[in-house]
């Protein structure tokens, strides 16, 4: 589909008219194109398969300690107001004979975030996918996010943020494993230089 054929542009023009704007005025003439391109980018996760992202980088190993990638930045749109929410995800698993390339955990997180989402579902979808593909001994996901729908409208809370978690297997049943994960995600990154 070419840019000029994108039906989202016509819809954006209609929205601009409905809110009392003139889509033909100088500053708004290219806005429908820009918004359509932005929405396509911010929702490109619908065109990707989360399982395929992990399956392309699976490796057999005998490693059985925690694998953690923390401070994974993401941006998403809430499905209720289509306003941004963004933050960090911390993703860990305990292998059961297989590991996945470390870069695949941020790729998975970003792909799932590029759909209309709620933070709770994003958190469980990350855990579900890792569990499905790797069958690990445990999975832990913690997501921290700021929601513009809470800041800009509604309750207008400028300093509130949300934390969600999904603990599976060893992270759910073993307090020591869960505690180790929680302690590790509290640590701030030190310079490696």
pLDDT, residue 81, reads 92
Of 81, 144, 172, 180, the active-site residue reads 81
Of 80, 120, 132, 157, the active-site residue reads 80
Asked whether residue 164 falls in the same domain as residue 145, the answer is yes
Rounded average pLDDT over 38-46: 95
E strand map for the chain: 58-60, 67-78, 84-94, 98-100, 116-117, 138-147, 162-169
Asked whether residue 118 falls in the same domain as residue 54, the answer is yes
Is 80 an annotated catalytic residue? yes
Q: Which tens digit of pLDDT belongs to each residue from 51-76? A: 999 988 999 999 999 999 999 999 99
Expressed as residue numbers, the domain containing 150 is 50-186
Q: Which tens digit of pLDDT belongs to each residue from 112-169? A: 999 999 999 999 999 999 999 999 999 999 999 998 888 887 777 776 788 999 999 9
Is 79 an annotated catalytic residue? yes
Asked whether residue 16 falls in the same domain as residue 57, the answer is no
Q: How far is CA 100 from CA 60, 113, 129, 184, in A?
A: 9, 19, 12, 20
Is 149 an annotated catalytic residue? yes
Is 90 an annotated catalytic residue? no
């Amino acid at each position: 589909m070419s840019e000029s054929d994108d039906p989202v542009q016509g819809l954006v023009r209609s929205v601009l008219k409905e809110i009392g704007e003139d889509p033909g005025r100088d500053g708004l003439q290219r806005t429908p194109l820009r918004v359509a391109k932005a929405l396509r980018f911010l929702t490109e996760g619908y065109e990707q398969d989360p399982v395929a992202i992990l399956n392309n980088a699976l490796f057999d190993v005998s490693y059985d300690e925690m694998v953690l990638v923390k401070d994974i930045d993401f941006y998403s749109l809430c499905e209720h107001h289509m306003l941004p929410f963004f933050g960090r995800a911390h993703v860990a698993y305990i292998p059961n004979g297989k590991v996945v390339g470390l870069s695949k955990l941020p790729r998975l997180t970003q792909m799932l975030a590029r759909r209309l989402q709620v933070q709770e579902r994003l958190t469980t979808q990350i855990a579900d996918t890792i569990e499905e593909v790797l069958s690990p001994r445990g999975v832990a996901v913690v997501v921290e996010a700021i929601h513009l729908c809470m800041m800009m409208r509604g309750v207008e809370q400028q300093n509130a943020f949300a934390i969600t978690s999904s603990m599976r297997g060893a992270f759910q049943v073993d307090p020591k494993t869960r505690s180790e994960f929680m302690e590790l995600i509290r640590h701030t990154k030190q310079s490696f230089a």
